[in-house]
Amino acid sequence: MYTVLTVQEMGWSGMKNGELLRLAEIEFDVWLTADQNIEAQQNLKLFDIVVVVLVAPQTKLEYLVPLMPELHEGCA
């Protein structure tokens, strides 16, 4: 079973990626993002969390939801 929460639901809106990752590594095992530049912006090795970059034409749910079966398969 997975618990999925958005940045907004966690009350973390407006924070930069580094701050988000520091908070997320305390609360979660995996961080999903659509930020394809995150590896250039952050040294992900400094964080104790798995970061998965979702690649889609847009960040709207209608584009991200179809990626979930493949993501789930990769976690099994």
List pLDDT tens digits, range 30-68.
Answer: 999 999 999 999 999 999 999 999 999 998 989 999 998
Q: Which of 74, 76, 33, 40 minimizes the C-alpha distance to 55?
A: 33
d(CA 69, CA 49): 21
pLDDT at residue 74, rounded to an integer: 77
Statement: residue 22 has pLDDT above 70: yes
Statement: residue 1 has pLDDT above 80: no
* Residue boundaries of the structural domains of the chain: 7-75
pTM of the predicted protein model: 0.84
pLDDT at residue 50, rounded to an integer: 93
pLDDT at residue 76, rounded to an integer: 64
Give the count of beta carbons closer than 10 Å to the beta carbon of residue 20.
21
- Whether the Cβ atoms of residue 25 and residue 12 lie closer than 8 Å to each other: no
Tokens representing 1?
Answer: 């079973």
